[in-house]
């Protein structure tokens, strides 16, 4: 086994989830990530913890089969024809057994890896949204645990990144197996600027100019705990405060489909207009999931300079230096200050703005980053 895989497993256990004796651990992974699953089992065995492996989040071929069949055979789920003769959307239960598993878990480790990243591209987006809605209590439970989302460099993920498999392996393990203490210190400069701030403005090119209040909401220093790789600082906007427009000029993959050039216009925090160059229907479906899906739940600043290229993978892309990302949907609990409103939704979909040129970030009227360079980096030089 490549020694970097065992190093990866050790970082997950020691740095990301702080594995302890007696911990009940869920490892969710696609079979292409088997080497990392095996390396994790060595660590879990060594520490006296208890593993179970699932492929619930990552077994996309089976999920596709399940969702398509559920969508077609809707009668069993109480779908019925509505007044205009269309079949109403399918409904899903929240599976009690899956919920019980997570409720009794201490540590949840999700390994991203796929043998085909477009596996669910022919599942009806409405069916996917309904499924995600039913999965929400399970997501809530997972987020209440010590959890980590990481990546295994499978060939299909390399292909998505337009890289050779070996090149992509180097990219992933360079980004993952690193000195997370040093990264934390670098990011702490930005936390110190954002944490006490009231208003933040993101300006890029002609099409992005948006302001939002982050007053009272803590800024989190993501240095490889919940996300591995980490490398961003992030907080939650006040749900009603977002005003302006954003062109997310970097593409994203959602439910196996590429969405490009997402444009959102905000009034009073709500998305009042939207468009996308490709797969706009998928974007529309996301925004229609629930009320919270039309508001921002996250603002993040990418600060990991070891992630030096865009790889069509949000786990990496959002950490890239010279980028800013915003997510519609659910806000993370720890980014919402006491007494502040938390945006609530079944979804959390990140989208990225390139800040490397003709761009700035302004905090309470002061520019803290211009064209990708932070003020404190100028001072560091």
Binding site for its own copies (CB under 8 A): 21-22, 24, 26, 31, 34, 37-39, 41-48, 50-56, 59, 61-63, 65-73, 76-77, 92-93, 95-105
Q: How far is the CB of 57 from its own copies (least distance, A)?
A: 11
Q: Which is nearer to its own copies, 119 or 369 (CB)?
A: 119
CB of 156 to its own copies, least distance (A): 15
- Coil, strand, or helix at residue 253? strand
Helices (H) and strands (E) in the chain, counts: 12, 20
Distance CA 139, CA 136 (A): 5
Residue 274 CB, shortest distance to its own copies, in Å, is 31
CB of 59 vs its own copies, minimal distance in Å: 6
Nearest to its own copies of 98, 240 (CB atom): 98
Nearest Cα residue to 148 out of 30, 242, 230, 210: 230
In whole angstroms, give the CA distance from residue 271 to residue 263: 10
Question: SS3 of 310, please?
Answer: coil
Residue placing its CB nearer to its own copies in the complex, 100 or 182: 100
Least distance in Å: CB of 136 to its own copies?
14
107 - beta bridge partners? 25, 146
Tell me how many degrees the CA angle 74-293-232 measures, rounded to the nearest 5: 125
Nearer to its own copies, 66 or 376 (CB): 66
Instruction: Copy the structure tokens of residue 51.
Output: 């593993």
Query: From CA 306, how far away is CA 202, in angstroms rounded?
Result: 23
**71 vs 237, which CB is nearer to its own copies?**
71
User: How far is it, in rounded angstroms, from Cα 283 to Cα 74?
Assistant: 24
Instruction: Report the residue number, 71 or 251, with the smaller CB distance to its own copies.
Output: 71
- Please check whether residue 19 is in contact with residue 51, taking contact to mean a CB–CB distance below 8 angstroms: no
Minimum distance, C-beta of residue 185 to its own copies, in the bound complex (Å): 32
């Amino acid at each position: 086994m490549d020694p970097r895989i065992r190093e990866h497993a050790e970082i997950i256990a020691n740095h990301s989830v702080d594995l302890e004796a007696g911990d009940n651990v869920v490892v969710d992974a696609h079979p292409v990530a088997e080497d990392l699953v095996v390396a994790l089992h060595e660590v879990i065995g060594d520490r006296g913890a208890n593993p179970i492996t699932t492929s619930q989040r990552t077994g996309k071929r089976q999920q596709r089969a399940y969702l398509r069949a559920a969508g077609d055979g809707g009668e069993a789920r109480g779908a019925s024809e509505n007044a205009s003769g269309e079949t109403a959307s399918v409904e899903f239960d929240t599976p009690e057994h899956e919920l019980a598993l997570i409720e009794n878990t201490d540590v949840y480790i999700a390994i991203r890896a796929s043998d085909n990243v477009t596996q669910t591209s022919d599942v009806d987006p409405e069916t996917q949204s309904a499924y995600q809605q039913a999965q929400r209590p399970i997501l809530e439970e997972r987020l209440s645990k010590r959890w980590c989302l990481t990546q295994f460099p499978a060939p299909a993920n390399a292909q998505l990144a337009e890289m050779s498999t070996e090149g992509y392996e180097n990219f992933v393990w360079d980004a993952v197996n690193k000195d997370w203490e040093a990264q934390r210190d670098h990011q702490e400069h930005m936390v110190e600027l954002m944490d006490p701030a009231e208003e933040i403005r993101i300006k890029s090119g002609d099409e992005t100019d948006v302001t939002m209040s982050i007053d009272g909401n803590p800024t989190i220093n993501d240095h490889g705990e919940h996300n591995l790789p980490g490398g961003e600082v992030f907080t939650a906007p006040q749900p009603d405060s977002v005003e302006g427009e954003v062109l997310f000029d970097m593409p994203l993959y959602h439910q196996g489909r590429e969405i490009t050039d997402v444009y959102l216009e905000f009034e009073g925090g709500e998305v009042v207009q939207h468009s996308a160059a490709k797969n706009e229907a998928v974007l529309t479906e996301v925004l229609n999931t629930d009320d919270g899906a039309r508001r921002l739940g996250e603002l993040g600043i990418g600060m990991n300079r070891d992630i030096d290229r865009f790889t069509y993978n949000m786990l990496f892309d959002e950490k890239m230096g010279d980028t800013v990302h915003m997510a519609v949907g659910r806000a993370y609990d720890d980014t919402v200050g006491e007494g502040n409103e938390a945006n609530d939704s079944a979804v959390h979909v990140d989208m990225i703005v390139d800040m490397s040129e003709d761009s700035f970030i302004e905090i309470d009227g002061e520019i803290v980053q211009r064209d990708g360079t932070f003020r404190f980096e100028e001072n560091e030089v």
